[in-house]
A and B are shown apart, each in its own frame.
Chain A
Amino acid sequence: MSVKWPLLVAILRHEKSFSDLSNADWSLLISQAKRSLLLGKLYYLLEAQNSLIDLPDGPYTHFETARVRAEKQRRDLGWELTKLKQAFSETNCPVILLKGAAYAAANLSISYGRTFSDIDLLVPASELSKIESRLIIHGWLHQSKDQYDDMYYRKWMHELPPFKHAKRGSIIDLHHNILPITALNCPKAGSLLESIVELENDHSIFTLSRLDQIIHSATHLFYDGELEHGLRDLVDLQGLINELDENAKLHLADRALQLGLHKPVFYAVRYLELILNTPNLESLRKKLEQNGARIRSLNIMDFLFSKAFMPDHPSCDSRWTGLARWILYVRAHCLRMPWHLLLPHLTKKLLKRLSKTNSS
C-alpha cells in the first residue's frame, strides 16, 4: 500500500528527516504536532538525534516552550503525589498510578515531553468510598455535571466522576477498573491489582506491571471513541513495547489473552506496524493471531483507523476523516455498553440537552 503520510507521521516513521525541512515544513510540522500533543515528544526526538543545535530560532522557540511546559508538569506531579500520599496514608490502600502520571512518576523515557491533563488512579472497588472521602477531606471535590451524570458514573462506569482540587486545580480520575463494567471484555480488576509494581525511586507509589500498562494503553485506545489524540497514544504504545525483549513480547500476548484483552493488543500491534512502521513485532502479532485475535473485517478497520489516527489538523483531513472518526466513536460506545443500556442513556442525554437549550 503506497500512502502519502502527513508530515508529522512521516517524521515519526523516519521517512523524512528534520534536516530536510523548509520553513514551511517546520510551520506545518509544529502545527500538526501541537494538535496531536506531540510537540514535547518531538523535542526529545530532536535531542536524541543531536539536532536541537541546528534548529532555526523560530521552530526552537516552540519546541523549547513544549519542553518547559512538560518540565513544569513533572514538578507539579511531584507535588501532587506528595499530597496524594498524605490523603492515602490514613488508609491501607496503595497509591496506584495509571497512564501518563505513571509513566512520568516512573521516569520512563516515553514520559519525556508527554503531557497529561489529569492523574489517573486505580483502587480496589471495595476501597472506593473510603478513598473518595479521603480525597474530599484533602480538598479534591467532585466535578460531576448533575445528579444523572453522577449516578451514571457510579452505576456503570469504571471510574468516579473526576475530582478537582479546590485550590490547586489538579484533576484526579479515580478508577476501580480499566474498562466500564458493562464492557464486552471487562477484565477482572483483581488480576491487575495482584501484579502491581512499586516504583524504584519511591516505594510508596505503584503502577501496573509493564505488560499490564501496555494492555491498558491499548485497551484505552481501541475501546475509546475519541481518537483526536490517538496518534499520541500510539506513540506511547510504541515506546512501551520497544522496551520489551522478544521473550517479554510473547509474555505480553499470554497476559493479554489471560485478561481477555488480546484484541486491543492485536490492533495496537497492527497499527504500530502500519502507521508508525514499528519493526520487530512479527512474532507478537503471529502469537496473537494464533490465539484468536484475528479480526475478520480488518480491511475496513485498517481504512477507518488509518484515517482516524492522523493528526487532528486540516492539512491531514481527507473526505473520509470525519466519517471514520464518527464510526469508530459509535463502535467504541457499543463495545463499552450493550445496546439495551446504551440507548436509554443516549436518549436521556439528548432529552437533557434539549430541555437545557429550551430553557436558556
Chain B
Amino acid sequence: MFFPGLPINDYRNYLLRSGPFYFLVTSELNSIEENIVKLYDTTKHPRPSQALPFIDFNISVTGSKSKLIFRNNQNAEFSLDSKKVFNPFPISHVTAMLEWGMNWCISTQINTYLIIHAAVVEKYGFAVILPAPPGSGKSTLCATLIQEGWRLLSDELTLLDLNTAKAVPMPRPIGLKNQSIDIIKARYPKAVFGLSSAETIKGNVCHLKPPTESIRLQSVQCPVRWIVFPKFEHKASTQLRNKPKGEAFLQIANNAFNYNIIGKIAFNTLKTVVDQSECFTFQYSNLDEAIEVFDRLRINL
C-alpha cells in the first residue's frame, strides 16, 4: 500500500478517478499496468512531490507470495487499506478482479448515495436507468448505446444523489462477458478493450473503455427521466411495455445495495425518481432495433 510520505517500494501506483471517487491502486503486476494504460486516460503515477487529491480508496492488487510449482496456479489478492477482502483468485483474472473490486469498494463503503445495481446512460440532458439482474444483457445494451452517442454515467452502479435525486456519473470501463465481447468488437471496430480474463466465475470477461466525452462530463449530474428493465431473449421480437410504477419501485429497492441502510431518505429519493420517470420493461434480441427504441424515448420529452 502507498501513502504520501511513506517510502515507496517497487510497487507502482496509479491514481484513478471514477466520478466522485479517487482510487489509489498499487500493484507490481505488469498486466494491471497494461490494462490501466489501455482503459484509463487519466492515469498518473503519483510522485511524493505531487499534490494528490483526497484518496477515497487505497487498494492494492498483488501476486500472492506462496511459491507454487505450477506457474498457472499462481494467485493474486485484492486489498483495501492493506486488508484482503476477497479470497485469492487466479492471477489471470486480475484485470477483471480490479474492476470488480473497485465496484465492491463503492457499493459496500459508501452510503451518501443510493446505489442501485443498474446501468445509467444519458442523452439530451436526461438519464435512463437500466436495472437488471446478471445475464439480462444490460452491459451489452449499455456498451452499444454509448457507441451510438449516449453518455455513460455508469454500467454497474447507478448512484442517486440523496438531495437532488439526480444520477451521479461514475464512468468506468464496461465489463463485457463471453459472446458480448465479440459482438461489440465486430459492431464497433474502433472500440478500445483492455486485457481479457478467461474463465472467471462469470465466464470470459473483457472491459471496454468509456468514451472520452463521458469521462470529460463525469462531474455533471443528470435528472432521471426513464427506467427501463431490459431483458435479452434469443430471437425475441423487440418490445417496450409500460411497467407499473409500484412494481418498478420495489424491484429497484430490492436491487439497491444500501436502500435498507440509508432508510427513509432512500425511500424518498427513489420515490422522486420513480414518480418523475416513465417505467418500461424492454425485451430485445436485435441491437439495431434496440438503438431505435432508445432514440425514440427522447421524442417523448
Interface residues of A (CB under 8 A from B): 23-24, 26-28, 31, 34-35, 56-62, 64-65, 68-69, 71-72, 75, 313-315
In the complex, the chain A residue whose C-beta lies closest to that of B265 is: A68
Chain B contacts of A35 at CB under 8 A? 81, 83
**A107: min CB distance to chain B, Å:** 19
Q: Take A68-B261, A69-B111, A314-B1 as given contacts and tell me if A34 and B54 are in contact as well, using a CB distance cutoff of 8 Å.
A: no
Q: Is B189 an interface residue (CB 8 A)?
A: no
Whether the Cβ atoms of B111 and A65 lie closer than 8 Å is yes
In-complex Cβ contact of A23 among B1, B53, B82, B109 (8 A): B53
**A1: min CB distance to chain B, Å:** 23
Within 8 A of A (CB), among B77-121: 81-83, 109-112
Interface residues of B (CB under 8 A from A): 1, 3-6, 20, 22, 51-56, 58, 81-83, 109-112, 260-263
Whether the Cβ atoms of A34 and B263 lie closer than 8 Å is no
Whether the Cβ atoms of A314 and B111 lie closer than 8 Å is no
Chain A contacts of B111 at CB under 8 A? 64-65, 68-69
8 contacts between A and B (CB under 8 A): A23-B52, A27-B52, A27-B54, A57-B20, A58-B22, A61-B20, A68-B263, A72-B260
Chain A contacts of B54 at CB under 8 A? 23, 26-27, 56, 58-59
Whether the Cβ atoms of A27 and B20 lie closer than 8 Å is no
In-complex Cβ contact of B112 among A27, A68, A71 (8 A): A68
Q: Take A314-B1, A314-B82, A315-B3 as given contacts and tell me if A72 and B58 are in contact as well, using a CB distance cutoff of 8 Å.
A: no
**A48: min CB distance to chain B, Å:** 21
In-complex Cβ contact of B6 among A56, A61, A68, A315 (8 A): A315
Whether the Cβ atoms of A72 and B261 lie closer than 8 Å is yes
In angstroms, Cα B20 to Cα A60, docked, is: 12
Q: Take A62-B56, A68-B261 as given contacts and tell me if A313 and B82 are in contact as well, using a CB distance cutoff of 8 Å.
A: yes
Whether the Cβ atoms of A65 and B109 lie closer than 8 Å is yes
The 5 closest A-B pairs by CB, nearest first: A58-B54, A24-B4, A68-B111, A27-B55, A65-B111
Q: Take A27-B58, A65-B111, A72-B260 as given contacts and tell me if A58 and B53 are in contact as well, using a CB distance cutoff of 8 Å.
A: yes
In angstroms, Cα B5 to Cα A23, docked, is: 12
**A25: min CB distance to chain B, Å:** 9
Whether the Cβ atoms of B3 and A27 lie closer than 8 Å is yes
**B262: min CB distance to chain A, Å:** 6
Extra contacts besides A35-B83, A68-B262, A69-B111 (10): CB < 8 Å: A24-B3, A24-B55, A26-B54, A27-B4, A27-B52, A34-B81, A56-B54, A59-B54, A68-B263, A315-B6
Whether the Cβ atoms of A24 and B261 lie closer than 8 Å is no
In angstroms, Cα B265 to Cα A72, docked, is: 12
